[in-house]
Structure 1
Amino acid sequence: MSRIDKASYTGQPWRIHEFTDDFRIEDAWAFRTPGAGPHDFPAILAAMREAGGLAQQSWLARALFATRWKLGALLGWDKPSTGVGARVTSLRDRLPEDLRDAPRGLDTAAMPLKGVYELDTECARELGNKTVHTVMHLGWARGAESDYELRMTVLVNTNGTFGKLYMAAIAPFRYLVIYPALTRQWERAWRDRNASATG
């Protein structure tokens, strides 16, 4: 995984740009998927799902998430009244007409971000609570070398000063624990998928 310039996201012809003008780019990363071709985005999504979610992360990542959910429960950050469809409108309600019938992607109890849409080269998932309305966008693009790569962009619309302070407070945990853990899981999922395909 490597952190990439935000232009690597804004410069792509992805549909997400059409309805997220009020969100700002928080993070943009690229993940290594050696040997990938232009039509392998569904394959990497399937490999990532098969690799499992939070339950397969490191103990430290699991502990951080557990602490966050505990705090959210105690302080009321994650009440239904603060989430998508209540405090914030779902991106599903902003979709252009031609995207409204697109698949949303698989939602599970283990995945707190819910599907907005899933296409052949990109997908988006969202989460809303008292702190932010956030979107995780995954896109498929040609890398610096010839192979295609997975790119993840995190978009946020913070809930006032409190939301901005919250995002600043969790930044070290994202960079030092969460993103490295995601990298190991997702890049291993691609390697395992390739090994199975060639074995």
Structure 2
Amino acid sequence: MPLPKTAHTSRPWRIHEFTKDFHLEDVWALPTPGGPDDFPRLVQLIASQNDPNDFSLAYRVLFAIRWKLGALFGWDNSDTGIASRVPSLRDRLPADLRDAPPGPNFQSVPFHSVFLTDNEWAAEIANRTVHAIMHIGWVPNETGGYRGQMAILVKPNGPLGKLYLAAIRPLRHLLVYPAMLRTFHRTWQSQPA
């Protein structure tokens, strides 16, 4: 479920300390109810989500088109990513976060973990269009438990990046996020707590 941006900006997240030049694009409640100690389980679920068949056909087709366009136009070449076109967000971290393990490696998507705390995890991706951060938090819910919350922060790369973000906005809201959230919910429910 989409949330107002204040659901992210009003929380005392560490991510706020070093992303002032990023724009908060989206905030979503994740259908992952749990207890106070379930955050590591959510982080592992997201990082290890690697079976494309877990996602809807529309989702898979959309991402296949995106990767084909990226290959055709060179959006995802090695010289367009983290440490090539843009420095890693890890370079901005305060010492306590930089010296801690960054979090898990992703199994099937080109995101890189930046930092992990007991209730907050950030991962980044960069290409020719954008430098983006996926921020996952563990927040109290309305029923006295906890749930995940996802925020997407972006820094477009020039006019191409702005055009790209505008073009994919409806697709993210109508296809990508709903399909991703259904998959997270189904996987979360099927895993032992």
Q: What corresponds to 1:21 in structure 2?
A: 20
Using the size of structure 1 for normalisation, the TM-score is 0.90
SS at match of 1:117: strand
Is the 1:48–1:189 Cα contact (8 Å) retained in structure 2?
no
C-alpha deviation, 1:50, in angstroms: 5.4
Deviations 1:157-182 (A, max 9, x none): 01112111100101121111110111
Deviations 1:66-90 (A, max 9, x none): 1111111111111111111111111
C-alpha deviation, 1:145, in angstroms: 2.9
Structure 2 residue identity aligned to 1:167:
L
Structure 1 residue identity aligned to 2:181:
T
Is the 1:140–1:150 Cα contact (8 Å) retained in structure 2?
yes
Distance 1:168 1:103 in 2: 34
Using the size of structure 2 for normalisation, the TM-score is 0.93
Corresponding position: 1:9 with 2:13? no
Q: 2:169 aligns with which of 163, 168, 171?
A: 171
Is the 1:114–1:127 Cα contact (8 Å) retained in structure 2?
yes
Is the 2:59–2:175 Cα contact (8 Å) retained in structure 1?
yes
Is the 2:49–2:107 Cα contact (8 Å) retained in structure 1?
no
Is the 1:136–1:152 Cα contact (8 Å) retained in structure 2?
yes
Distance 1:150 1:68 in 2: 27
Q: Sort the Cα spacing of 1:103 and 1:159 in 2 relative to 1 into closer, same or farther, 3 A.
A: same
Is the 1:51–1:185 Cα contact (8 Å) retained in structure 2?
no
Q: Sort the Cα spacing of 1:47 and 1:133 in 2 relative to 1 into closer, same or farther, 3 A.
A: closer
Distance 1:127 1:14 in 2: 20
C-alpha deviation, 1:109, in angstroms: 4.7
Corresponding position: 1:97 with 2:95? yes
Distance 1:148 1:130 in 2: 36
SS at match of 1:3: coil
Residue segments in structure 2 that go unaligned for 5+ positions in a row: none
Q: Sort the Cα spacing of 1:55 and 1:128 in 2 relative to 1 into closer, same or farther, 3 A.
A: farther
C-alpha deviation, 1:42, in angstroms: 0.7
Q: Sort the Cα spacing of 1:83 and 1:52 in 2 relative to 1 into closer, same or farther, 3 A.
A: closer
C-alpha deviation, 1:150, in angstroms: 0.4
Q: What corresponds to 1:162 in structure 2?
A: 160
Q: What corresponds to 1:132 in structure 2?
A: 130
Q: Sort the Cα spacing of 1:164 and 1:101 in 2 relative to 1 into closer, same or farther, 3 A.
A: same
Count of aligned positions:
193
Deviations 1:66-118 (A, max 9, x none): 11111111111111111111111110111101111222222245121111112
133-142 vs 5-14, which deviates more? 5-14
Q: What corresponds to 2:151 in structure 1?
A: 153
Q: RMSD across aligned C-alpha pairs, in angstroms? A: 1.6
